[in-house]
Amino acid sequence: MSEPGRLQRPTVVVEGVCPLCGLPSAVTCYADELAVWRHHKETGGPLRHIQYAMPEMKPEDRETLMTGIHPACWDDFFKDRE
C-alpha cells in the first residue's frame, strides 16, 4: 500500500465474518481514510460514501469492508440475478 520513497501511512486490518459463507474476512486500509469514512457515515457528511473516502481502494475490497462479503461469495450469490 505504499510507494518506494514515500512516508508510510499507518494501516489497519478490519476483520469480520462473511455473512454468506461464515468464514473470516479481512481488509487492510489506511487508518486515516477509515476514520474519515466512519465519521462521515455517522454524521451524514460528504464522504459517507466509501468510494469517495477511499478512492484508491479496489471496489471489491470496499464492499468487503462495508459488508464482510468476500468477492467470490458476492459473485456466487449474485450470478443468477444478472
Alpha carbons 66 and 13: distance in angstroms, whole number: 13
Joined grid coordinates for residue 55: 478512492
The pTM for the full model equals 0.81
Give CA separation, 31 vs 17, 23, 38, 41, 47, in Å.
Answer: 20, 24, 11, 15, 15
User: What is the Cα 66 distance to its own chain's centre?
Assistant: 6
pLDDT for the residue 56: 93
Other residues' Cβ atoms within 10 Å of the Cβ of residue 34: 19
User: Model confidence over 20-71: pLDDT tens digits?
Assistant: 999 999 999 999 999 999 999 999 998 899 999 999 999 999 999 999 999 9
pLDDT for the residue 14: 97
> Residue 5: pLDDT band by 50, 70, 90 thresholds?
low
